[in-house]
Amino acid sequence: MTKKYVYFFGKGNSEGNASMKSILGGKGANLADMASLDLPVPPGFTITTEACAEYTEIGEKKLFAKIDKEVMEQLKKLEKVTGKTFGKGPNPLLVSVRSGAAASMPGMMDTILNLGLNDETITAMIKLTKNERFVWDSYRRFMQMFSDVVLGVEHDHFEHALESLKKKKKAKLDTDLTAADLKALVAEYKAIVKRDTKKEFPQDPVEQLWNGVRAVFSSWNNPRAEKYRQLNDIRGLLGTAVNIQSMVFGNGGDDCATGVAFTRDPSTGANEYFYGEFLINAQGEDVVAGIRTPQQITLAGSKAWAKNQSVTEATRKSKFPSLEEAMPKCFKELDAIKTKLEKHYKDMQDLEFTIEKGVLYMLQTRNGKRTAQAAVKIATDLVKEKLIDEKTAVLRIEPASLDQLLHPVFVKASEAKAVKIVTGLPASPGSATGQVVFNAEEAEKWSKAGKDVILCRIETSPEDITGMHVSKGVLTARGGMTSHAAVVARGMGTCCVAGCSDIVMDYAKKCFTVGKVVVKEGDWISLNGSIGAVYKGKVETVDPALTGPFGDIMKLADKYKKIGVRTNADTPHDTEVAVKFGAEGIGLCRTEHMFFEPDKIISFRRMILVAETVKKIKEDHGVKSVYDLKTGKDCCMNKEEAAAVVQYKQALDELLPLQRKDFLGIFKALEGRPAIIRLLDPPLHEFLPAKENVAGQKEMAKTMGVSVAKIQELVDANHEFNPMLGLRGCRLGIIFPEVTEMQARAIVEAAAAVKGSHPEIMIPIVGNVKELINQKEICKKVIAQVEKEKKIKINVMIGTMIEVPRAAMTADEIATEAEFFSFGTNDLTQMGCGFSRDDAGKFLKDYVKLGIYEYDPFVVLDQGGIGRLVKTAVEYGRKVNPKLPIGICGEHGGDPKTVEFCHNAGLTYVSCSPYRVPIARLAAAHAAIKQK
């Protein structure tokens, strides 16, 4: 059987149906479907997406030769069904040529209306309709669209001619132009075409048709469409279909109209009234073009609109009546169709219709685009209305979209009015308005003075953490979606726009510039972290609600999900937020963030200052821990050495109660939920002033009471060429075991003080089971000590991160010692792929563009590569201990695709930043439902 490329649609004649979206496109399939439902659909036919794919592959010439016969047959059929003739009188067949892919890509591809008009059919149409103005209007519209889309004549030339004419004729609206005006305009259009293309406007309707088809097929790969697919993650489609449909006219007089409508409110999801707009005596593009003010479909809608626009009821009724009032019969019919379609498609629909001489025609129906708020409301409502079941409702909500519901958001109208300065990466969602500052200290100072600040940096570093914490938002010029700023901000739930490469920061002059725009310290700006926009001045915000339909959907998600959802939280506040968002515990509590607080960093720096000296003393004395060194007279140390030992111990003694306090707050906030606490992870240099930060070095020297040279020496000694692969994680705990001891003690003492707490100690950067054994031994010893001191039993699990590839490859060995695994997929990706998170931005964008990686592997887990390491580790680990709890706590833990992967890989839980918890819960439910 030869392949069928063209499918007819029309009452009783449809060859396709709703299930054929992939080859007919959404529009084509639904037109066929609506026709089969006996709805008033102008007949036509659809050229398949497969033809589009071949168009790209074998080229226009070969494809058109292949489908020519079929198209001509369908055209004949269309003539027969409509009783009209294509390109000829007395009753000429005019058609629209419209794109339509399987996924909705509104406005991204090209459309031509009124095709089939030429100097000959014009005459026939005038004779037939006795409406000269309408025909000339249709002709000039057709010429305009066709010349732009097919012939590549600048759109502006036509607009300019139209505007000149309107000026000359003192016409306000297009509808004020007469038939004669329009006829003259057509003549002018023809001259423009001739001038620009050196050819006459094509008169052969068949030539017009093929040109239209070519234009639509070509538009599939136009940059705009490609960008749209990329942004909306639309993949795996063949191409666009082409729908050739017999025209009906909304511009044939005052008994004609055209409109678009949503069956429910696409912004809120409310099912109050039929939401939509229409225009009398107009064609499709006029409704969205904004030249004339559209009218509302329902009376209720119209009244609400009038109120909002401060239009009096008298004016409304006379100038902007609703369809319900203006064309009650058509409205009634449309309203019935609306109900029928919602029942049929079991979802909110987005409709297009045209009324020609009082007769209603349906031109399109599709599932309507909606905000996350509306999606949640509609899904829960449809369950109540028994149109869909719970699982379907859950699957209806795109997990990532929940993000919109969790952060304070700008009031739409206010944002629309704001002046955009620049666009960066949407690094951490939410909205923020504040005054610009350029360093962390200023941020703290201003914030203490009660000001809202936006911290602006070239890029952030751990030294900026406190400053970030007090800021309403963070803006950086460098760094990607997983840069320090982005990761930390998402963790904090702070809005962040990162990597605005057009910004030039000038710390010295305390300003940043974008082209000619200069923003100075203290200036107000607003960030929309969900889209990466930066605005001048203030934009109003509003808080989200977690109850109502949102709560209902989350309940359903929890009912169906199998995998647990924990959170990455480092502070009691983060923990509280996460618990509110439904976290079942902490999957990752990073203890290093705590060390950056001013009081702690001083003690810790004091320790680092003497750490090497103390290490050498221990080696000389052959002891493992500083506490095993003899002190006093017999100590065999010189004065300097003895002082170093004292300082080292003192620093640890200072840190212990501070750390314990952190954990106390977290355990309390968890109310009995488990908490995985990771021991110190980053390399020591992160706790010291940077090499370039001479001021910081001077300050540290002063605080420590040593020379600046000494501090510089320390900074140099702790410098690493590849700190990512340096002395960090358990390596630190092994070289400086007292730090592990102190941290373990802080955890266990805090746990002892909060009844019902469930601490789980996690050892980072383990690559070899012997590292784990070393650290576990220290922890076990401390636990036993504290149990003895406090005379209670404390249940502490000790497990490990799996983040070094070697750990994944030897997970069978590690599982003999680890009581749980947690995949640190950030580092596993860095080491497994050999990508430095801080540097890879340079080429990862190109890599995704070139298709080397489907997604940025730091955003969506690279399932084909790193995923194999994960699966290997799960398999090895569970072979040794079938009940081994295994989680994931990298940034990926909140990514829906990764959550699905984790569900399928048999993980016990995922852990993500507090604001991603609801997303992960929903994604987990999706995974479980899809699996069945």
Q: Which two tokens stand for residue 693?
A: 């930060």
Q: Work out whether 628 is an interface residue with its own copies (CB under 8 A).
A: no
Cβ contact 563:924 at 8 Å: yes
Q: Work out whether 713 is an interface residue with its own copies (CB under 8 A).
A: no
For its own copies, the binding residue among 379, 563, 866, 928 (CB under 8 A) is 866
Cβ contact 222:228 at 8 Å: no
For its own copies, the binding residue among 207, 620, 720, 789 (CB under 8 A) is 720
* Nearer to its own copies (CB atom), residue 459 or residue 540: 459
Q: Work out whether 437 is an interface residue with its own copies (CB under 8 A).
A: no
Q: How far is the CB of 310 from its own copies (least distance, A)?
A: 48
Query: Distance from first CA to last CA of the chain, Å, rounded?
Result: 36
For its own copies, the binding residue among 54, 333, 350, 862 (CB under 8 A) is 862
Q: Which two tokens stand for residue 532?
A: 């990466």
For its own copies, the binding residue among 64, 210, 228, 847 (CB under 8 A) is 847
* Nearer to its own copies (CB atom), residue 164 or residue 501: 501
Is 912 a catalytic site residue? no
Q: How far is the CB of 811 from its own copies (least distance, A)?
A: 10
Whole-number Å distance between alpha carbons of 791 and 787: 5
H or E segment to which residue 674 belongs: strand 674-678
Whole-number Å distance between alpha carbons of 281 and 294: 11
Cβ contact 111:98 at 8 Å: yes
SS (H, E, C) 237-276: CCCEEEEEEECCCCCCCCCCEEEEEECCCCCCCCCCCCEE
For its own copies, the binding residue among 722, 791, 793, 883 (CB under 8 A) is 722
Q: How far is the CB of 457 from its own copies (least distance, A)?
A: 16
* Nearer to its own copies (CB atom), residue 200 or residue 619: 619
SS (H, E, C) 212-241: HHHHHHHHCCCHHHHHHHHHCCCCCCCCEE
Strands (E), 357-437: 359-367, 409-410, 419-423, 425-428, 431-437
Q: Work out whether 865 is an interface residue with its own copies (CB under 8 A).
A: yes
Q: How far is the CB of 869 from its own copies (least distance, A)?
A: 6
Q: Which two tokens stand for residue 234?
A: 């639309």
For its own copies, the binding residue among 704, 840, 873, 905 (CB under 8 A) is 840
For its own copies, the binding residue among 234, 658, 734, 859 (CB under 8 A) is 734
* Nearer to its own copies (CB atom), residue 85 or residue 872: 872
Q: Which stretch binds its own copies (CB under 8 A): 282-290, 662-670, 723-731, 904-912?
A: 723-731
Residue of 730, 889, 902, 912 marked catalytic: 889
* Nearer to its own copies (CB atom), residue 642 or residue 833: 833
Q: How far is the CB of 733 from its own copies (least distance, A)?
A: 11
Q: How far is the CB of 763 from its own copies (least distance, A)?
A: 13
DSSP-derived secondary structure letter, 590? E
Q: Work out whether 235 is an interface residue with its own copies (CB under 8 A).
A: no
* Nearer to its own copies (CB atom), residue 349 or residue 829: 829
* Nearer to its own copies (CB atom), residue 211 or residue 810: 810
Q: Binding pattern to its own copies, positions 672-691, x when CB under 8 A?
A: --------------------
Q: Which stretch binds its own copies (CB under 8 A): 127-135, 321-329, 385-393, 837-845?
A: 837-845
Q: How far is the CB of 309 from its own copies (least distance, A)?
A: 44
Binding-site size for its own copies (CB under 8 A) equals 50
For its own copies, the binding residue among 513, 836, 881, 904 (CB under 8 A) is 836
**Residue type, position 787, single letter:** E
* Nearer to its own copies (CB atom), residue 12 or residue 851: 851
Those residues whose C-beta lies under 8 Å from the C-beta of residue 128, and which sit 6 or more positions away, are 89, 90, 91, 92
Q: Which two tokens stand for residue 74?
A: 């369908």
Q: Which stretch binds its own copies (CB under 8 A): 133-141, 449-457, 694-702, 842-850?
A: 842-850
For its own copies, the binding residue among 200, 543, 634, 846 (CB under 8 A) is 846
637-676 burial, b for 16+ CB within 10 Å, e for fewer? Answer: beeebbebbebbbebbebbbebbbebbbbbbebbeebbbb
Going from the C-alpha of 369 to that of each of 78, 163, 288, 373, 617, the distances in angstroms are 32, 34, 16, 12, 69
For its own copies, the binding residue among 76, 332, 369, 868 (CB under 8 A) is 868
Is 456 a catalytic site residue? no
For its own copies, the binding residue among 250, 572, 767, 885 (CB under 8 A) is 767
Going from the C-alpha of 162 to that of each of 119, 239, 258, 606, the distances in angstroms are 20, 35, 22, 77
Residue of 157, 407, 469, 484 marked catalytic: 484
Q: What are phi and psi of 430, to 5 degrees?
A: 110, -175
Those residues whose C-beta lies under 8 Å from the C-beta of residue 143, and which sit 6 or more positions away, are 158, 186, 189, 190, 193, 201
Whole-number Å distance between alpha carbons of 339 and 346: 10
Within 585-614, which residues bind its own copies (CB under 8 A)?
A: none
* Nearer to its own copies (CB atom), residue 290 or residue 834: 834
Q: How far is the CB of 785 from its own copies (least distance, A)?
A: 22
* Nearer to its own copies (CB atom), residue 836 or residue 904: 836
Q: Which two tokens stand for residue 255?
A: 């008994």
Whether a cis peptide bond, with omega within 30° of 0, leads into 90 is yes
Q: How far is the CB of 832 from its own copies (least distance, A)?
A: 5
Q: Which stretch binds its own copies (CB under 8 A): 505-513, 766-774, 785-793, 894-902?
A: 766-774
Q: What are phi and psi of 554, to 5 degrees?
A: -65, -35
* Nearer to its own copies (CB atom), residue 495 or residue 772: 772
Assign 3-state DSSP to the chain and report helix, strand, coil percentages, each to 5: 50, 15, 30
Q: Which stretch binds its own copies (CB under 8 A): 249-257, 427-435, 839-847, 901-909?
A: 839-847
Q: Work out whether 387 is an interface residue with its own copies (CB under 8 A).
A: no
* Nearer to its own copies (CB atom), residue 300 or residue 725: 725
Burial of 197 per CB tally in 10 Å (0-12, 13-18, 19+): middle
For its own copies, the binding residue among 384, 623, 792, 843 (CB under 8 A) is 843
Whole-number Å distance between alpha carbons of 817 and 779: 13
Torsion of Cα atoms, 233 then 237 then 242 then 245, to 10°: -70
Cβ contact 126:98 at 8 Å: no
For its own copies, the binding residue among 367, 404, 712, 768 (CB under 8 A) is 768
Q: How far is the CB of 506 from its own copies (least distance, A)?
A: 15
Q: Which two tokens stand for residue 429?
A: 């969602």
Task: Give the residue among 783, 584, 741, 570 at the shortest CA–CA distance from 663.
Answer: 570
For its own copies, the binding residue among 726, 777, 790, 794 (CB under 8 A) is 726
For its own copies, the binding residue among 471, 603, 830, 913 (CB under 8 A) is 830
For the chain, how many residues are written? Answer: 932
Q: Binding pattern to its own copies, positions 642-671, x when CB under 8 A?
A: ------------------------------
Whole-number Å distance between alpha carbons of 139 and 190: 11
Those residues whose C-beta lies under 8 Å from the C-beta of residue 163, and which sit 6 or more positions away, are none
For its own copies, the binding residue among 835, 858, 901, 909 (CB under 8 A) is 835
Query: Would you tell me which residues interact with its own copies (CB under 8 A)?
Result: 720-727, 731, 734-735, 765, 767-768, 770-771, 774, 803-806, 809-810, 813, 827, 830-836, 838-840, 842-843, 846-847, 850-853, 862, 864-866, 868-869, 872
- Residues serving a catalytic function are 484, 889
